[in-house]
Structure 1
Amino acid sequence: MAVAGMPVGFGRMPMAVGVALALFLLPVGGAFAEPKPTVAQAKKKLEKLNDQADKVVEKYNQAGEKLKKARKKYRTLNGDLTRQNATVAGLRQELVTMAVSSYQLGGVSGWESMINQPDPGTLLSGLAAVDQMSASRARSLGAFDEANKLLRVSRDKAKEALAEADKTRDELAAEKAKAEKMVKAQTKLLRELGTFQSGNPNSTGIQYNGPASGNARAALAFAFAQVGKPYQYGGTGPGGWDCSGLVQASWRSGGVSLPRTTWEQWSWGASRKVSISELQAGDLIFSEGLGHVSLYAGNGKIVHAPQTGDVVKVVPLSAYGRRLVGAVRP
């Protein structure tokens, strides 16, 4: 007897076969789709991505600085090469003029006319002139030869510098590709969590009213004026910042010239390090691995450009979210 609602022919089917068939008829992926990550899992993944992104962005910044230095070196050496070319060209013209003059004087016939002079004084004067001409010619030839050697050295150095610039440009492109991939992954997660902040490139920030004074106060006033602007990897303002770009620009307003990247800033401050327990407003605070830097604002707060999908903000130091390695006082 057939069961109601079941096609004819299923009534006497063995139970195992029926179950197998039922499973086969289930929509593909319906019962076996992987569960969507929980908010906690997504946040944990984002935290890991942010930590990786810090290092990737600083490598990108480092490659950018390396390219700038390589280009500057090439421009300097190429300028030397241009000047050396001009020197060689001038000496070459001098030698050509001298050779033409010698030809016009008549070479051997010139000697004959001097030797046949009846006046001994005229003969001595003529010999002195020839001797002087020979010495001058020797000096010119020597200068020309030396200038040519220097020209070859300058040309080789310029070629090496150009090759170095090309190599660092390729390094920069590779690091940029990594950074773009990381930013894409961060953005996707943040949008899924509903926490992505685009920021306002024209934000006028907030006023600094902390305990800093002097240069540190000027640096923090600048940093606070950037609050609300978006984090942007490789950003050096004015519409977006990364962590080291913000710190560098802030202290530039305070009259102190800092290097561009976190690694360089940490190295620059080798003799200026202070412990976290002795922080003063304006100090640079570095995370473990040197992937992130912030400015201590005083009263237990920091101002920084956190990561992709966030904005320049002021937060408690206790909410920093990264393990700290130390601080530097400009």
Structure 2
Amino acid sequence: MRVRTAAVSAVVCTMAVALPGPAMADPSPAQARARLVKLNEKADQLVERYNRASEAYKTARDRYRALDAEAAADDARAEELRAELADLAARDYQLGSPLSWQRFVGSGDPEAVLGGMAALEQLARDRAARLRAFESATARLRQKRDRAKAVLAEADEARDEVRREQAQVDKLVDQQTALLRRLGAFKTGNPQSTGKTYTGPASGNARRALEFAFAQIGKPYRYGGTGPGSWDCSGLVQAAWRAAGVTLPRTTYTQWSWGAARRVPVTAAQPGDLLFSRGLGHMGMYVGDGKMVHAPQTGDVVKIVSLDGYWRDRLIGAVRP
């Protein structure tokens, strides 16, 4: 964990040095755009790590909540059994134990003695069963509390990782924003955008996914965004296919792994297929006609781009949900 965080810090520091400070001359538009491309590529990787850390935290947090609820139920049952045993012990103290066989010896009636002894045996079994149930409930409670503590510690560690990653991403976002504003290219987007209408050839659930994605066009990119007013790349694709009835994992890495048996070459992509870039830091959805709809990066909006030039060289594969 420390090694990875240190590596992230080193990357950010390197970029900070590479970017000119206020006292330095402004770069030419061409230089600024070249730096922005590199910055966006670094940000893609860092945002993906942030998303994975966020998912790890959510998973650990949900596991803890489930275990905590189970422990609470076991605690209530154990308390109920403890109260029953305490009540029996109090009555024994006040009235004498009903399990004493001597009370039947002097009756002179063998059948009464045998019947009484049988009743005592049944009563003893009942008390033993209650004691075993109590011991079992308390043992389960201890185990679940121990598991809950371990999972809570895991959740705390994941939460701290999210905060560390977020701090690094925020630094990059500030640099991206400053550079985009210098270029006059920063787009705020419209969280209320109604997007565009999909009129392409896709059918079935692929069409429904693309209809959803097209309706988000014009909304701003925001790292970690899962809608409805802003999106990141994997959040947009996940929501689009959810609208089509298909459940995808949250992050780019997990979506690529999820589609291991569904991968196709980019050249064979069909509308609705997921497209992945080198390093798995970015993704989008194939529209058809050599185009992709995606949520790009800070300072941009959900939009359709052509897969020539820059994207032709960066895409490594497609997944068909």
Corresponding position of 1:228: 218
TM-score scaled by length of structure 2: 0.89
* Structure 1 position 36, deviation (Å): 3.2
Q: Please report the TM-score for the alignment, with normalisation by the length of structure 1.
A: 0.86
Structure 1 residue 314 displacement after superposition: 0.8
Which amino acid letter does the alignment assign opposite residue 168 of structure 1?
A
Deviation at 1:271, TM superposition (A): 0.7
Deviates more, 1:98-107 or 1:211-220: 98-107
Q: What is the root-mean-square deviation of aligned Cα atoms in Å?
A: 1.7
In structure 1, give the amino acid aligned to 2:180: L
Distance 1:36 1:100 in 2: 86
Q: Which amino acid aligns with 1:275?
A: P
Range with greater deviation from structure 2 (209-218 or 94-103): 94-103
Where does structure 1 differ by over 4 angstroms across 4 or more consecutive aligned residues?
A: none
Asked whether 1:256 is paired with 2:246, we answer: yes
Equivalent runs, 1:137-216 vs 2, <5 Å: 137-216=127-206
Q: What secondary structure is seen at the aligned counterpart in 2 of 1:327?
A: strand
Are residue 44 (structure 1) and residue 30 (structure 2) matched?
no
Equivalent residue for 1:135, pick from 122, 125, 132: 125
3-state SS in 1 of match to 2:286: strand
CA contact (8 A) 1:74 1:158 kept: yes
Amino acid aligned to 1:201? P
Which residue of structure 1 lines up, in the alignment, with residue 316 of structure 2?
325
CA shift at 1:275, angstroms? 0.6
1:126-182 CA deviation, whole Å, 9 max, x = no partner? 111111222222222222222211111011011111111111111111111111100
Instruction: Name the structure 2 match of 1:25.
Output: none
Letter in 2 for 1:95: L
- Aligned ranges 1:34-183 → 2 under 5 Å: 35-107=25-97, 110-183=100-173
Conserved? CA contact 2:272–2:287, under 8 Å:
yes
After TM superposition, give the deviation of residue 35 of structure 1 in Å: 4.5
SS in 2 for 1:314: strand
Q: Using the alignment, how far apart are the partners of 1:124 and 1:174 within structure 2?
A: 75
Query: CA deviation digits over 1:165-221, x for unaligned, max 9?
Result: 111111111111111100100111111111111111111111111111110001001
Q: Give CA-to-partner distance per residue, 1:246-283, whole Å, 9 cap, x none.
A: 10111111111111110010011011101111110000
2:130 and 2:97 mapped to 1: Cα distance? 19
Counterpart AA for 1:73: R
CA distance in 1, matches of 2:246, 2:98: 72
Structure 1, 314-323 or 215-224: larger mean CA deviation = 314-323
Count of residue correspondences:
298
Specify the SS of the correspondent of 2:108. Answer: coil
On the 8 A contact 2:99/2:124 being kept in 1, the answer is no
Which 5+ residue runs of structure 1 have no aligned equivalent?
A: 1-32
- Map 1:230-309 onto structure 2 (within 5 A): 230-309=220-299
Q: CA deviation at 1:98?
A: 2.5
Deviation of 1:41 (Å)? 1.3
- Maintained 8 Å contact 1:226/1:312: yes
Distance in 1 between residues matched to 2:134 and 2:245, nearest whole Å: 48
C-alpha distance 203-117 of structure 1, shift in aligned 2 (>3 A): same
Change (3 A) 1:291 1:251: same
What runs of 5+ residues in structure 2 fail to find an aligned partner? 1-22
Mapped partners of 1:268, 1:177: distance in 2: 29
Structure 1 residue 97, shift from structure 2 partner = 2.7
Residue aligned with 2:285, SS = strand
**Letter in structure 2 aligned against 1:214:** G
Aligned-residue offset at 1:46: 0.5
Quick one: structure 1 residues 116 and 104, their matched pair in 2 at CA, closer, same or farther if it must change by over 3 Å? farther
Compute the displacement of 1:110 (Å): 4.6
Q: What amino acid is aligned across from residue 138 of structure 2 in structure 1?
A: N
User: Would the alpha carbon gap of residues 202 and 110 (structure 1) be closer, same or farther in structure 2, given more than 3 Å must change?
Assistant: closer
Contact 2:107–2:113 at 8 Å: present in 1 too? yes
Give CA deviations for 1:82-110 in whole Å, capped at 9, x if unaligned.
01101111211221232234345534995
SS of the equivalent of 2:34 reads: helix
1:105-133 per-position Cα deviation (integer Å, ceiling 9, x unaligned): 53499533310002111111111111122
More helix per residue:
2
Greater Rg over alpha carbons, structure: 1
